[in-house]
């Protein structure tokens, strides 16, 4: 894709040139092997950075063809796909999940009193909207709560060869952490939504995404598998520990940053590029930065790209406004990872108070991130898209925040 003259789109090229030197510090100190960034305004790319390596064994420089494991940046794509079925009247947000997935009927909530566990009936069942907004009572394997520990004990998400339907059945077999709607808690809920999509559409997830999202939007390097001819473009992934590995909780993640070296990781079991069963909702996609730009530009355009409409404008607006009550704000993973100033939409964060975010941005900016330091945002007010791609797990520094600040300081009109 062409890079256009920044000044014609309200950016100062000299200020944009501050991006690479700052991000290069993360390469120079050995924290990250390679970084790719993209900045666009009004549908045109105004800046790219390609820093470091994509294959460290043969010193291959990172390129625009680099393919990244986007981890949780899979989630907005799944939510977009499911909302296509919402537009067709196939479900409503306030419907109970159990109407489509009966294994979620009569669930129990885990209550702990000292060293004693007790299961109590849910006050109400999980709604489909609860899953979109992470208010369902589900948890995630790498978190520190009691349900997350039970997930880890059952090896949830550690084996990519397990089908999506079997994964969701395992989720349903576990208790909830809290009563649906009580609070925001990051979770495997988008994996459940991905299976819900399969059930409602009677179509495998990977096929639905290919036919309804990737092909119409020209995202020809996106999917749960990477073709043999393209595997050399998969970016090496580094980290102290595999986020989805066996017995990895938040304590182990924190500990590994000081007890384990930053090393090249083998993700054959948890995030393979060639396993036919590997289709998930919360992670799993492989994508280039240009493909993610095409997806983000579709959202900025109100559901359309290059004459192909995949969502209606009002659906995009519904997805990217705050759906959380004020009583659930601010939200975050834990005390270490919070998103003040943001609400949460149907699959993405959304800025409701820039002053509280401590980030430069606009009311209505939305986006999400992935565990291996991938990050994107869409700013409808300024018509800006920013995308940061790297491959570093178990890393708690925030180069993506540097990138966002550097983008906005270059905006002069």
Position 229 in a domain: yes
CA–CA distance, 316 with 45 (Å, rounded to integer): 22
Dig out the tokens for 7 from the structure.
């000044």
Q: Which one of 154, 174, 202 terminates a domain?
A: 202
At 346, which CATH number?
3.40.710.10
Judgement on whether residues 47 and 126 belong to the same structural domain of the protein: no
User: For position 168, what pLDDT does the model report?
Assistant: 99
Which own/partner contact pairs does 110-113 have at CB distance under 8 Å and 24+ positions apart? Answer: 110/146, 110/147, 110/150, 110/175, 110/176, 110/177, 112/146
Binned at pLDDT 50, 70 and 90, residue 336 comes out as confident
Judgement on whether residues 105 and 163 belong to the same structural domain of the protein: yes
Judgement on whether residues 15 and 130 belong to the same structural domain of the protein: no
CA–CA distance, 73 with 270 (Å, rounded to integer): 16
Position 367 in a domain: yes
Dig out the tokens for 15 from the structure.
């200020």
CA–CA distance, 92 with 20 (Å, rounded to integer): 45
Judgement on whether residues 282 and 212 belong to the same structural domain of the protein: yes
Judgement on whether residues 377 and 338 belong to the same structural domain of the protein: yes
Q: Which one of 182, 202, 222 terminates a domain?
A: 202
User: For position 325, what pLDDT does the model report?
Assistant: 97
User: For position 238, what pLDDT does the model report?
Assistant: 98
Angle of the 189-201 helix axis to the 164-172 helix axis, nearest 10: 120
Judgement on whether residues 306 and 172 belong to the same structural domain of the protein: no
With a cut of 90, say whether residue 175 has pLDDT above it: yes
Question: Residue 385 forms beta bridges with which residues?
Answer: 40, 378
Residue 129 domain boundaries: 91-202
Judgement on whether residues 274 and 379 belong to the same structural domain of the protein: yes
User: For position 335, what pLDDT does the model report?
Assistant: 77
Give φ, ψ of 122 to 5 degrees.
-65, 145
pLDDT digits (tens, 9 = 90+) for 178-187: 999 999 999 9
Judgement on whether residues 219 and 303 belong to the same structural domain of the protein: yes
Position 44 in a domain: yes
Q: What is the pTM of this model?
A: 0.97
Residue 368 belongs to what H/E stretch? Answer: strand 366-370
Judgement on whether residues 67 and 186 belong to the same structural domain of the protein: no
pLDDT digits (tens, 9 = 90+) for 178-219: 999 999 999 999 999 999 999 999 999 999 999 999 999 999
3-state per-residue secondary structure call for 88-129: CCCCCCCCEHHHCCHHHCCCEEEEEECCEEEEEECCCCCEHH
Which own/partner contact pairs does 394-399 have at CB distance under 8 Å and 24+ positions apart? Answer: 394/239, 394/240, 394/241, 394/243, 394/253, 394/256, 394/257, 395/31, 395/32, 395/239, 395/257, 396/257, 396/336, 397/26, 397/31, 399/23, 399/26, 399/32, 399/35, 399/373
Position 70 in a domain: yes
Position 132 in a domain: yes
User: For position 370, what pLDDT does the model report?
Assistant: 98
Judgement on whether residues 185 and 238 belong to the same structural domain of the protein: no
CA–CA distance, 275 with 278 (Å, rounded to integer): 5
From 56, 212, 190, 202, select the one nearest 135 (Cα to Cα). 190
DSSP for 207-242, please give it: HHHIIIIIHHHT-TT-BSS--GGGGGGBPP-EESS-
CA–CA distance, 80 with 358 (Å, rounded to integer): 28
Position 48 in a domain: yes
pLDDT digits (tens, 9 = 90+) for 248-298: 999 999 999 999 999 999 999 999 999 988 999 999 999 999 999 999 999
- With a pLDDT cut of 70, the percent of the chain lying above it is 100
Judgement on whether residues 344 and 366 belong to the same structural domain of the protein: yes
Position 1 in a domain: no
Residue 50 belongs to what H/E stretch? Answer: strand 44-55
Position 318 in a domain: yes
Dig out the tokens for 197 from the structure.
């999509």
Give φ, ψ of 36 to 5 degrees.
-125, 130
pLDDT digits (tens, 9 = 90+) for 72-100: 999 999 999 999 999 999 999 999 999 99
Judgement on whether residues 49 and 97 belong to the same structural domain of the protein: no
Please count the structural domains in the chain: 2
CA–CA distance, 12 with 162 (Å, rounded to integer): 49
272: helix, strand or coil = coil
Q: Which one of 147, 173, 202 terminates a domain?
A: 202
């Amino acid at each position: 894709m062409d890079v256009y003259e920044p000044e014609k789109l309200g950016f100062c090229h000299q200020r944009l040139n501050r991006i690479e030197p700052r991000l290069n510090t993360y390469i120079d100190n050995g924290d990250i092997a390679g970084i790719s960034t993209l900045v666009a305004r009004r549908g045109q790319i105004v800046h790219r950075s390609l820093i470091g390596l994509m294959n460290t064994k043969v010193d291959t420089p990172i390129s625009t063809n680099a393919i990244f494991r986007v981890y949780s940046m899979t989630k907005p794509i799944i939510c977009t796909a499911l909302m296509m079925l919402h537009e067709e009247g196939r479900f409503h947000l306030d419907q109970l999940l159990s109407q489509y997935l009966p294994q979620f009927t009569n669930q129990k909530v885990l209550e702990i009193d000292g060293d004693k566990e007790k299961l109590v009936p849910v006050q109400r069942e999980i709604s489909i909207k609860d899953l979109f907004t992470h208010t369902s009572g589900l948890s995630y394997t790498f978190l520190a709560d009691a349900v997350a520990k039970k997930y880890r004990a059952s090896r949830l998400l550690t084996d990519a060869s397990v089908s999506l339907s079997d994964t969701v059945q395992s989720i349903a077999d576990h208790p909830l952490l809290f009563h649906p709607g009580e609070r925001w808690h990051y979770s495997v809920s988008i994996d459940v939504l991905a299976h819900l999509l399969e059930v409602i559409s009677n179509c495998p997830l990977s096929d639905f995404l290919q036919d309804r999202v990737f092909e119409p939007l020209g995202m020809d390097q996106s999917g749960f598998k990477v073709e043999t001819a393209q595997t050399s473009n998969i970016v090496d992934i580094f980290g102290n520990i595999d986020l989805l590995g066996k017995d990895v909780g938040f304590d182990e993640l924190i500990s590994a940053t000081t007890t384990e070296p930053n090393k090249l990781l083998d993700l054959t079991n948890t995030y393979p590029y060639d396993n036919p069963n590997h289709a998930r909702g919360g992670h799993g996609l492989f994508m280039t930065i240009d493909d993610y730009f095409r997806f983000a530009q579709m959202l900025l355009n109100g559901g359309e790209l290059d004459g192909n409409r995949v969502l209606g404008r009002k659906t995009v607006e519904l997805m990217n406004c705050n759906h959380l009550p004020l009583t659930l704000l601010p939200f975050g993973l834990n005390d270490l990872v919070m998103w003040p100033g943001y609400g949460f939409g149907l699959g993405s964060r959304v800025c409701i108070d820039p002053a509280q975010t401590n980030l430069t941005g606009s009311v209505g900016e939305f986006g999400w991130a992935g565990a291996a330091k991938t990050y994107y945002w869409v700013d409808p007010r300024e018509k800006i898209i920013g995308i940061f791609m790297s491959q570093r797990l178990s890393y708690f520094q925030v180069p993506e925040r540097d990138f966002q600040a550097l983008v906005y300081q270059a905006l002069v009109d």
